[in-house]
Structure 1
C-alpha cells in the first residue's frame, strides 16, 4: 500500500514538472522596492502653460498701396520674447478689410506672422479682431456676414498652423477683441459666430469666449470646443463685467454672481483651458485669496506684462503654506519663503508629482500563470489639467541601463488628471518575460504630438525627464 502511495505521489510530481516544462507555468519570484518620493520647488518648462507676452499686427490691404514687409518686425519680436515663455499671444487686426474679403496680400501676411512664431517653438494663443481703441462699433464690419466670411477666409491658414496654435480667443468681435462693446453680442449672433468658427477650423484647435455667460450661449453641438479667456481677471468683485450681482437663475445665459461663476468655471475648466490677464491692484488679487481663485478657475496661462501693479505685488509678498492650508490648495512646505509670483508661476496649468508606487501579483481566471501590476500614484499639483494628449510609459532598465521592456497603462488618459486631483495608474505585465536580475522602473510622460518629454516636479527626476518609481528583482524560477 505504501509503495502505491509513493508511486502516486511520484507520478503527480512528474506530471506537475512536465506541466511547468511544457506549458511554461514556472513559479516566478519577484520582489519590489518602491523609490522615495518628494516634491521639489523647481520651475518646470513644460508646454501649454505658464506666462505669455502679447504682440499685435495690423494687416494692410494690397489695394491701399504697398504691403509692408513684416520681416524685420517679426525678427525683432521673436528674438526678444523671453525664452522661458512657452506661450505667446498674437493679435491680428483685420480692420483694413471691414468692407471686403481678406485679399491675397492680407492672407500672406497672416501666414508670415504665424510661420515666424511657429519657428520659435512656442504655442500660439491667437486672436483676430478689428479694434484696439475701444471703438469696436466703428471698426467692425457693418454686417455679421462679413465677419463670418473672414472666419472662413483665415481658416485655411489657421488650420495649416494648427499644430502650433494652443487656442483661439474670441469671435473676432468687440473692443480689443474681448466680445464687449460690439453690435454682435446678441445670443443669436454669438451662436452664429461660434458655429461658423468651429466649423471652419480643425477640431484640434481649442476656442474660447470671454465670459461664462457667453459660453452658455454657444450651441451644444460645438460647445465642447470652447473654453474661456478673462482679461479682467481679479479686477473687481465682478472681474470687470465678467460676473454680475445676481445668483443662479433660470436664465442660463445671464451673468451670475462671482461665487456661482467661479463654481461654473471650476467644472468647465476641467475640460477646457482658461487664462488671461490679472488686472487692477485690489483685494481680489490679494494673497492668499487669489491662490484659491486661480485654482478654482483652472488657470493655465497669464500675461507676463500686464497688469504690472498686480504682478509686482505678487513679487513682493511671501508665500506661506499656513496661509492657505485650510483651503486645501497645497500643504507642501517646499514653497515656503518664495514669492507669491513664483508660486503662481509654478502652478499655472498642470504640475505632475509622483507620490507612490507598489507591485502586486494578479491571478487571471482559468490559468495558473500570475501577472504583475505596477501601480503608480500621480497627483496634479497645478491649478489646471492639460488639454493635449500626453502618453505615460514605464521603461524597465536592466543592470546595464539597457531598456528591457516598455510598459503602457492599462487604461488611463492624462487629461483626466485635472488640477488638484490624483489617480492611481496601473501597468500590468508578464514577469516571466523578464530575465533574472534587477530592473529600475522609470516613468515618463510624453507629448504625443511633439514627442517632448513632460517634466515631473519630483526631486528624484532623471536627465531624460523620467522619474524612478521603483526596483523590480526577478529571482530564479522554481
Structure 2
C-alpha cells in the first residue's frame, strides 16, 4: 500500500512539474512572441531635386583680392570689409599677395606683419582662401622675380609659419611663387628640376592638410617624379601625391587624350579650378558643360574672360531635369564642385526573420567634382513624444561620392531596442571643422537637425 502511495505522489509531482514547465514555456513564448512581433513602418518625404544655389563651402565662383606688400604701405582692413559687401554669396576667395618689393632679399618684419593681418582678416569671414604668393600681377615676372631661387626658398620659409597658423581657413596654396602672375608658367627660373624642388619644399613647410596647385597634369607629374597619376587614396596625412591639385588661368576645351585622363584622375583627390578662357567653343552649352564635367572643376574665377561668362549668362539651359530654364551661368553655379541629392530611402525589416532593421539611402553627387574635405554623415532619430534623439554615424567617406554616381548607404536600426512610437528621421551632413551643415540639392527644408527624410513608426 505504501508503495502505491509513493508512486501516486511521484505522479502528482511530475504532473505539477509538467504543468509549471508548460506555464513557464508559455510565458517565455509569449514574451518572445511579443518581442519578435515588432512592426516598423517608414514613410519617406518627397525627395524632389532643387535647382537652388547652395553656396556650400569649398566650391563655386571666387573673386580675386590683390595685395602688394611694401615697407612704405600698410594693409587696410577696411578693404576686405568693402569686398565682402560686394560679394557676400561666394564661399571662396583668391588672395594674391605680391612680394616683388622683396625680390632682392628677405621679407621685412613689417611685410610679414602685413601678410599676417591679411590672412587674419580673411579668416574672420565665412570664406575659404585660395592663397597665391607671386612677384608679378601683370605678366612682367621676368623682371620682377628674384634673380636667385635662394630668395624664393627663403620667402617660402618666412611665410610658412603664418600660413600654418591660418591653415583652417585656407583651402589651396596656388603656385610656387614664380611665374607670370604667380601661375607656374613663363618663368626663367622654372625647369623640370626646379619646379619639382620648389613644390616639394613648399609642401614640406606647410600643413599637410592644405592642398597645393600647379598649372596642369604635366607639371603635376614633373613635381611627383612619376609618369602616371597614382590611384585615388583618402588619408588625413596626405603625401605630396595627394595634396597637389591643378589651377589653370586659361581653361579651354582642348586637351590631348592623355592629358585629359591625367587631369580627371588628379581631380578625384585634389581640387582643380581656374579661369575659363575666351574660347569661342565654350559658348556652346554642351561643350562647356562637358569640359567642366570631364575635368571635375570645383571652382572658377567670376571675373576673368567676360566674353565667355557673358555668353553663359545670356543662354538658357534646356533639359528635362530640375535645372531646366536656368541660365547656363546659373547651371554652372549649381554644379561647380559637389552637390548631393538624396534620391531614395527605404526600410527593410521582417519581424520574424531580422534582429534589426536596415535603412538604405541612395545619394547622387550631381556636381562636377567630389568634395575634398571629409564630412560627418549621420542619421538622427527624434522620438516625437519624448524628444529623445538617437544619433547614428553612417559608415561612409563622402570624398568617395563620385560625380555623376549614386552612392548607397546602409544603416542598421536596432528597432527592438527602441521605445515604441513615432520617430522623425533626419540626414545630417556636417563639416566637423566648422560645424556648418552641408546643404543638399533637394527641396526639403533644412532644419537644425539636418534634413527630415521621413517618419518611422515602431509598434
* TM-score tier (shorter): 0.7 to 0.9
1:243-258 matches, cutoff 5 A:
257=256
Q: 1:132 to 1:370 in 2, by over 3 A?
A: same
Q: 3-state SS of the aligned residue for 1:432? A: coil
CA drift at 1:457: 1.1
> Is 2:301 the counterpart of 1:295?
no
Q: 3-state SS of the aligned residue for 1:115? A: helix
TM-score, normalised on structure 2?
Answer: 0.88
CA–CA distance in structure 1, aligned partners of residues 140 and 280 of structure 2:
27
CA–CA distance in structure 2, aligned partners of residues 376 and 6 of structure 1:
55
Q: 3-state SS of the aligned residue for 1:53? A: strand
> Is 2:190 the counterpart of 1:185?
yes
Aligned partner (choices 305, 315, 327) of residue 303 of structure 2:
305
Contact 1:278 1:285 in 2 (8 A): no
CA–CA distance in structure 1, aligned partners of residues 248 and 337 of structure 2:
15
Q: 3-state SS of the aligned residue for 2:446? A: coil
Aligned partner (choices 340, 356, 361) of residue 376 of structure 1:
361
Contact 1:50 1:345 in 2 (8 A): yes
Q: 1:369 to 1:333 in 2, by over 3 A?
A: closer
CA drift at 1:67: 3.7
CA–CA distance in structure 2, aligned partners of residues 393 and 401 of structure 1:
20
TM-score, normalised on structure 1?
Answer: 0.84
> Is 2:422 the counterpart of 1:438?
yes
Q: 1:17 to 1:142 in 2, by over 3 A?
A: farther
Q: How many residues align?
A: 433
Aligned residue in 2 for 1:248: none
Task: Spell out, residue by residue over 1:164-220, the C-alpha distance to the aligned partner (whole angstroms, 9 max, x if none).
Answer: 101111111101011111123211111111111111000111111011100011226
Task: Give structure 2 stretches of 5+ with no counterpart.
Answer: 1-13, 226-238
Q: 3-state SS of the aligned residue for 1:440? A: strand
Aligned partner (choices 70, 76, 82) of residue 76 of structure 1:
82
Q: 3-state SS of the aligned residue for 2:196? A: helix
Contact 2:430 2:436 in 1 (8 A): yes
CA drift at 1:71: 3.2
Aligned residue in 2 for 1:229: 247
CA drift at 1:16: 6.8
Task: Spell out, residue by residue over 1:321-368, the C-alpha distance to the aligned partner (whole angstroms, 9 max, x if none).
Answer: 2xxxxxxxxxx52211211011001101111100011112499xxxx9
Task: Give structure 1 stretches of 5+ with no counterpart.
Answer: 238-242, 244-256, 322-331
Q: 1:431 to 1:6 in 2, by over 3 A?
A: farther
Q: 3-state SS of the aligned residue for 1:305? A: coil
Of the structure 1 ranges 199-208 and 80-89, higher mean CA displacement relative to structure 2 is found in 80-89
Give the superposed CA RMSD: 2.7
CA–CA distance in structure 2, aligned partners of residues 441 and 272 of structure 1:
33
Aligned partner (choices 120, 123, 127) of residue 118 of structure 1:
123
Contact 1:455 1:465 in 2 (8 A): no
CA drift at 1:453: 0.5
From the CA coordinates, give the structure whose radius of gyration is larger: 2
1:392-407 matches, cutoff 5 A:
392-400=377-385, 402-407=387-392
Of the structure 1 ranges 86-95 and 264-273, higher mean CA displacement relative to structure 2 is found in 264-273
